[in-house]
Amino acid sequence: MCRNHHLLLWGSLLLLLTASCAKRPDIHNGKLLIPDKTSKLELQGTHSTDLMYTGCGGMIIAHQNEAIITDPFYTGQGLMRVPLGVRINPKNTRRVFDSIRQKLIDPHQINAALIAHAHVDHLLDLPYLLNNDMLNRQLQVIGHRSVYCTIRSFMPAGTSFTDTLNTWVNVSPHIRVMALPSSHAPHTRNRLFLQGTTCPNGIKGFKTPLSSTSLFKWKEGGTVSFLIDLLDTTGKTQTRLYIQSSASQAPDGFPPAELLAERPVDVAFICVASFENVNNYPEKLLQYLNPAKVVLIHWEDFFRKDFMEHPKIIRATSTKKLIERLQQFYQFSSQKLLAERVYMPKPYTVFHLR
């Protein structure tokens, strides 16, 4: 892509990002927001899963001393720095991993990395984690082939990549994952930036995990959603999770109906970013999944350096409207009642599913 085209794209993106700056509120979602650092998520039946929300589409899900990681992205990219290139600050990555070690599990027990698509805010930290031996040495990466092309040169021997869709992949004795073909919400009502793939050659100039690269080189590839089964010791599904970290137009990303008939979803993780650019989102998806609990993710403005410690709501997004719509959808008379079913965690929140 030529330099002028980059500048034009950056200009449109900057306009979009600054458009709603003046009236953008701090976090204001009262009961829904989980301000403390741990929370018990009560479900029907027996459950023994713990998870940490790490911001954007990121989570660590720990079950039976096994774990998976999703969409690792831990360094906010200051808005004015972005034209110079995006890159991680490894201090942030280390801080997240210290927290995982203290509160959840030894990160070397993380057997799989689930990546929704290859944009920077879903993938930027994975090369560093791979290069520094911070995950299991037999790690399986699951996502679209573009994810593989972006990170291939950082994958040590022993790690593997899977892009199989609609099929269960056993990532460890008690965890199985199904990637579901999905789609990416437009960034504005009718424009989706950063399409295409990074295949076959990856990102030019991305030589080390600390290299600075243009945001525009992190092409989406294809987008997937995930169904995750956490199994008991007899191999039966104990807990079923659903993750959609990019708002998708229904029925994209829907799991097969027969799977849901066999076993409903306990907790659905739903994307806040760009929800207004997708028709009937997330109502259509929630109607189809009928999850017992809903966790709203990818709601922070990651164009802020300290987006994990002091998160603000992503620009051009009305969480107030989303919450009103959810309240109407579930026909709760107050936000307090809605907050028993829907959660919006701050990064570093740990959920105990019981």
Residues in touch with Zn ion (CB under 5 A):
119
Nearer to Zn ion, 32 or 118 (CB): 118
Distance (Å, whole) CA 42 – CA 315: 32
Minimum CB distance to Zn ion, residue 219 (Å):
10
Nearer to Zn ion, 85 or 186 (CB): 186
Nearest residue to Zn ion, scored by beta-carbon proximity: 119
Minimum CB distance to Zn ion, residue 68 (Å):
20
Minimum CB distance to Zn ion, residue 56 (Å):
9
Minimum CB distance to Zn ion, residue 185 (Å):
8
- Contact between 351 and 41 (Cβ < 8 Å): yes
Strand ordering across the sheet containing 110-114: 38-41, 350-353, 49-55, 58-63, 66-70, 110-114, 140-142, 160-162
Burial of 84 (0-12, 13-18, 19+ CB in 10 A): exposed
Nearer to Zn ion, 308 or 314 (CB): 314
H-helix or E-strand spanning residue 231: strand 224-231
Nearer to Zn ion, 43 or 199 (CB): 199
- Contact between 144 and 118 (Cβ < 8 Å): yes
Minimum CB distance to Zn ion, residue 117 (Å):
6
CA–centroid distance for 36 within its chain: 20
Nearer to Zn ion, 269 or 351 (CB): 269
Cis-peptide into 251, omega within 30 deg: yes
Minimum CB distance to Zn ion, residue 336 (Å):
33
Nearer to Zn ion, 87 or 119 (CB): 119
Q: 246 CB contacts (<8 Å, ≥6 apart)?
A: 57, 116, 117, 182, 183, 184, 185, 223, 271, 273, 274, 298
Nearer to Zn ion, 119 or 174 (CB): 119
Minimum CB distance to Zn ion, residue 13 (Å):
12
- Contact between 99 and 326 (Cβ < 8 Å): no
CA distances from 16 to 9, 90, 166 (A): 11, 29, 35
Structure tokens given for 216:
């525009």
Nearer to Zn ion, 119 or 304 (CB): 119
Nearer to Zn ion, 118 or 231 (CB): 118
Distance (Å, whole) CA 246 – CA 122: 10
Minimum CB distance to Zn ion, residue 288 (Å):
22
Q: What is the DSSP letter of 163?
A: -
Minimum CB distance to Zn ion, residue 282 (Å):
16
Query: Nearest Cα to 207, choosing from 118, 156, 131?
Result: 131
Strands (E), 91-174: 110-114, 140-142, 160-162, 168-172
